Every structure is written in C-alpha cells, then in structure tokens.
C-alpha cells in the first residue's frame, strides 16, 4: 500500500471517530439549531427562498454516503449508489459523517415548525454516491460516479474533496460538463496557495471559504483555481444519526453552499445551461479584495439573492469588459495549479493537520456547539 493510501485510510478512520462529537438538540430547544446557522442570515436565505427553494433539481453528492434516516434529510435523499468494494446499500448510509454533513448544508429540510437544519436548496433532491476510501481507486470511482450522476439526471455535482491531477479524473469531469451538469468543488484546506483536483480543472466551479466577517478563512487554499467564495466557518449541519448535529469549518461546507446556490439558480432559470448558471453565480458575486477577480476571493463572495434576481447577459452575448471585471473573464479561462496531493475530504481539522508517511493531510474533525 502506498503512503498516500495509508494516510488517506488514517484520515477516514479519524473522520469516523468524530461521530461522538455531535450533539443532540433537546426537544425544547430544537429551534436553537436553526438559530446557529449564521450563514443563512449572511446569505439572506429568507428572501432567496421566497423566490425558489430548488424544487425539481437533483444534486449528486460524491462523498461518504448520506444517513438518509436523519429527520432533517428523510424527504431529501433519493436512492443512489455505493461504490465501495463492500457496499452497504444504495448510498443512503454513512459511517463517516462527511457526506451527511454536506447533504444538510445543501438540502436540509428541517422538521416540525421551523426546527432543525435548513439547507440552501431545501426542496432539491440529493443523489448520494458513496465513494471508496482508498486513494488508489479514486480516479476509477470518479469515472463511475460521474457516469451514474449523468445517467440519473443530476443537475449539479458537489465534490467536497481534493486529490491529485489525473487524466482519467479529468476525462470524467469533461464528460459531466458535456452533459450540462454544474460541477462544484472545494479549493482545499491546507492554506496558502496551491489547489487540489478536481477543483484545479477549468470545467469546475471552485469554491473557497469565508469566515463570519466575510474574510478568507485562514485554512482556505487560494490561487488561480478559485472562482467564488462562500461561508465556511462554524457551519451547523446534520449529523450522522437521526437527531444529531455538527458544527464544522472547511471549504467542504463552502462548496456545499455553492452547490445549493447552483440548485436554486437551476430551479429559477430552468432554461440556462450549466455554463450560464456558473456565469450567473460569478457575475453577481460581491467583489472583494483587489478590484475584479483575484486569487483569494475569485470573482467575489456569493450573493445568493443577486444570483436569483439580477439581469445578467448571456455568456455568448456578454459585452467585452476590462480584464479585471468579474463578469468578463469566465471561470473556465484560469490557469491550472501545479500542486498535487492525496485525496481527502475537505472539512478543516479543528486541531490542525496530520502528517502521515510524509504526506500532509487535512483531518476532518468536528467540534461541539
């Protein structure tokens, strides 16, 4: 077994071990879970949901599976597929927790009268694709995962993970783009400049993380691959069992928020192509940092309401702009980063990073409320 594969297995073992740090909301204070979702207010989710809640859109989630029995997800999760050598079922099972957390961010529906986790696109469907945890099979399963998402009519694919560049992986991404699927990936959590794949591919909308103040999170990877930023610190979401919740930080969470935003745009504008959906998200982003696109914020901070309401020229007819104008330079025109790394899910470690076998790996740990 390679050092990368050993490191990845250690990470996944640690991910599974973090289940115990979830909390269970007391019945009398269940609405406090919703109150802790600060990113909903930051994105003006109430106004966005008066326009659309994502009905009719399917988001494929390539991850650790989804615990579909969670009370805030039960109505959101379609039968999917389990690509592990020893599958547990149809993707609606999760022993690690990361996929369930992303599902809640994207499409949590809560329960009762406004209790529990609310997702960005609560009426969208989640198509769970449970992925192998062996780094040596990453690129093969990606081909299978993308093919399944395409066959099942996915409108968006969420990829909250990062790995090394590979021709097979890139071919899978290109096939999804050809099928008019919006591809969203996390930029990575190691910090500084660099970037993982598939986020490094020009066909992918790559997302960095913001803190509560709207600044780039200190763990968020920056570089020419970054297209957009979204909240990614202290994000409250669904836990692995039916009534537990997590608070996590990472570009994984930011990626899931943007996947939810893409679902809302696809529901609001069903005739837009995937490229036009991406263009709408980047063209309406709030510029931050240096004027125009930059390597920290990309085209800016996600502005959900503007993405659903603004007048945005079609991609083919958009007027020429100065090179630093956010609406002019399409995300597909960026250079590829050169850095490679073993596959890891991109929730940031609460206690930093783990070095195993000489390979730096982000460890997904969740902290208490």
* Segment 260-276 mean pLDDT: 98
Contact 324, 292 (CB under 8 A): yes
Per the annotation, the verdict on 213 as an active-site residue is no
Note the pLDDT of residue 166.
87
d(CA 18, CA 201): 31
Q: What domains can you pick out in the chain, each with its CATH number?
A: 3-362 (3.40.50.200)
The residue assigned the tokens 């994000």 is 235
| Cis peptide bond upstream of 93, omega within 30 | no
pLDDT above 70 covers what percent of the chain? 75
- Structure confidence at residue 42 as a pLDDT band (50, 70, 90): very high
The one catalytic residue among 249, 252, 259, 341: 252
d(CA 78, CA 221): 32
Note the pLDDT of residue 323.
39
The one catalytic residue among 98, 111, 139, 279: 98
The one catalytic residue among 63, 94, 155, 165: 63
Is the dihedral angle over the CA atoms 352, 356, 362, 364 positive or is it negative? negative
Per the annotation, the verdict on 63 as an active-site residue is yes
- Structure confidence at residue 347 as a pLDDT band (50, 70, 90): low
| pLDDT tens-digit readout, 77-107 | 999 999 998 889 999 999 999 999 999 999 9
- Structure confidence at residue 193 as a pLDDT band (50, 70, 90): confident
CA atoms within 13 A on the CB side of 197: 24
Contact 102, 239 (CB under 8 A): no
Q: Which helix (H) or strand (E) holds 168?
A: helix 167-178
Per-residue pLDDT for 349 more than 60?
no
* Segment 310-322 mean pLDDT: 67
C-alpha 72: how far from chain center:
18
Note the pLDDT of residue 182.
99
């Amino acid at each position: 077994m390679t050092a990368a594969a050993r490191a990845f297995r250690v990470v996944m073992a640690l991910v599974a071990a973090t289940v115990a740090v979830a909390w269970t909301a007391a019945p009398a204070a269940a609405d406090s879970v919703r109150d802790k979702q600060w990113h909903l207010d930051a994105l003006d989710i109430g106004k966005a949901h008066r326009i659309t809640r994502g009905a009719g859109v399917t988001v494929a989630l390539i991850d650790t599976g989804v615990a579909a029995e969670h009370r805030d997800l039960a109505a959101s999760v379609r039968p999917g597929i389990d690509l592990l050598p020893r599958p547990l079922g149809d993707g609606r099972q999760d022993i690690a927790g990361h996929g369930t957390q992303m599902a809640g961010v994207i499409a949590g529906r809560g329960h009762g009268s406004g209790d529990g986790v609310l997702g960005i696109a609560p009426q969208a469907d989640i198509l769970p694709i449970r992925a192998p945890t062996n780094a040596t099979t990453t690129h093969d399963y990606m081909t299978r995962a993308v093919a399944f998402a395409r066959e099942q009519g996915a409108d968006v694919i969420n990829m909250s993970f990062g790995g090394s560049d590979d021709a097979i992986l890139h071919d899978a991404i290109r096939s999804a783009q050809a099928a008019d699927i919006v591809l969203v990936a996390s930029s990575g959590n190691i910090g500084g400049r660099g970037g993982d794949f598939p986020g490094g591919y020009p066909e992918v909308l790559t997302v960095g993380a913001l803190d509560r103040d709207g600044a780039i999170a200190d763990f968020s990877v920056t570089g020419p691959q970054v297209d957009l930023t979204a909240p990614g610190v202290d994000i409250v979401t669904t836990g692995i069992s039916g009534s537990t919740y997590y608070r996590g930080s990472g570009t994984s969470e930011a990626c899931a928020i943007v996947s939810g935003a893409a679902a809302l745009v696809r529901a609001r504008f069903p005739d837009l192509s995937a490229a036009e959906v991406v263009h709408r998200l980047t063209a309406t982003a709030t510029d931050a940092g240096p004027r125009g696109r930059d390597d920290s914020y990309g085209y800016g901070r996600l502005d959900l309401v503007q993405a659903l309401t603004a007048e945005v020229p079609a991609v083919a007819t958009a007027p020429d702009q100065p090179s630093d104008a956010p609406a002019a330079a399409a995300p597909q025109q960026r250079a590829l980063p050169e850095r490679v790394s073993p596959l890891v899910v991109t929730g940031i470690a609460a206690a930093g990073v783990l070095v195993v076998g000489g390979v730096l790996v982000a460890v997904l740990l969740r902290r208490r409320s």
